[in-house]
């Protein structure tokens, strides 16, 4: 594992209890930093923080779809960290794999609420905090589905396209500051989120990857670790591909 420099820095990782979020937190800690894990699953996030160790990680239970809850989570984070240097928006859900005309309205709204509104609310709160300190790194996890549009995943695809647009807009708004805002667009990475998908949809995603395999949590965490570092100084509002060659634009 190449060494990244995150020494003395503190990051908020949403969806940090499991999957990509937990893997990203592990990489940032290995790079010398500390993390606050934000997740709505209290038992899981507490267990993840214990796994990472109290010297490196704190658990914060929060529903990122609620503005007041996000502000309260930030206040709780700042009670044990002098500042937040990086935000990684990893919390997300897939929604059902059905045709658009059969898509349940409540499920559509739930996907948009977590994947878009949650990213907006966290970016809103943390960018204001980072502006006070004149420095920050924000990394949003989008998806190759937001570039290409996956069939039978209209809400997920639309939500991740929105994350890409939000990232570009916020990156330009903060370009004259010390804050950099970027996103990554992974193809399928085998985590617990696969449990939300049908076997047919998983097979479809694999068939589209020229490398012929799924990505790994460690590969995603490596790129995000760099995007959270000071070395990422001249990239902002950018989209970084992690799709095994599926989508390179």
The residues assigned a catalytic role are 156
CA distance 151 to 163: 18
| Secondary structure E strands in the chain | 10-14, 34-39, 57-61, 86-89, 136-141, 179-186, 238-242
Strand order in the sheet with 34-39: 57-61, 34-39, 10-14, 86-89, 136-141, 179-186, 238-242
Q: In this structure, what are the phi and psi dihedrals at residue 108, rounded to the nearest 5 degrees?
A: -55, -50
Give CA 197 to chain center in angstroms. 19
CA distance 129 to 176: 16
Q: What is the DSSP letter of 4?
A: P
Q: In this structure, what are the phi and psi dihedrals at residue 182, rounded to the nearest 5 degrees?
A: -140, 170
Sign of CA dihedral 185, 190, 193, 195: positive
CA distance 71 to 35: 17
Strand partners, 215: 189
CA distance 4 to 15: 22
Greatest C-alpha distance within the chain = 50
Q: What is the DSSP letter of 7?
A: T
């Amino acid at each position: 594992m190449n060494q990244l420099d995150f020494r003395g820095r503190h990051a908020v990782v949403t969806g940090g209890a499991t999957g990509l979020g937990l893997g990203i937190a592990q990489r940032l800690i290995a790079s010398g930093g500390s993390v606050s894990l934000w997740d709505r699953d209290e038992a899981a996030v507490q267990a993840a923080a214990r796994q990472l160790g109290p010297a490196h990680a704190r658990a914060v239970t929060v529903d990122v779809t609620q503005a007041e809850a996000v502000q309260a989570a930030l206040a709780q984070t700042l009670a044990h960290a002098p500042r937040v240097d990086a935000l990684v928006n990893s919390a997300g859900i897939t929604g059902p794999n059905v045709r658009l005309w059969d898509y349940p309205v409540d499920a559509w709204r739930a996907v948009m609420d977590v994947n878009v509104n949650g990213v907006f609310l966290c970016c809103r709160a943390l960018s204001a905090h980072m502006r006070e300190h004149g420095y920050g790194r924000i990394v949003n996890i989008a998806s190759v589905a937001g570039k290409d549009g996956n069939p039978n995943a209209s809400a997920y695809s639309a939500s991740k396209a929105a994350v890409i647009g939000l990232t570009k807009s916020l990156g330009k708004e903060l370009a004259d500051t010390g804050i950099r805002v970027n996103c990554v667009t992974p193809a399928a990475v085998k985590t617990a989120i696969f449990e939300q998908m049908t076997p047919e949809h998983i097979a479809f995603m694999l068939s589209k990857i020229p490398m012929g395999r799924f990505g790994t949590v460690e590969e995603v965490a490596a790129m995000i670790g760099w995007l959270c570092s000071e070395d990422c100084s001249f990239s902002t509002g950018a989209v970084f591909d992690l799709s095994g060659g599926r989508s390179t634009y």
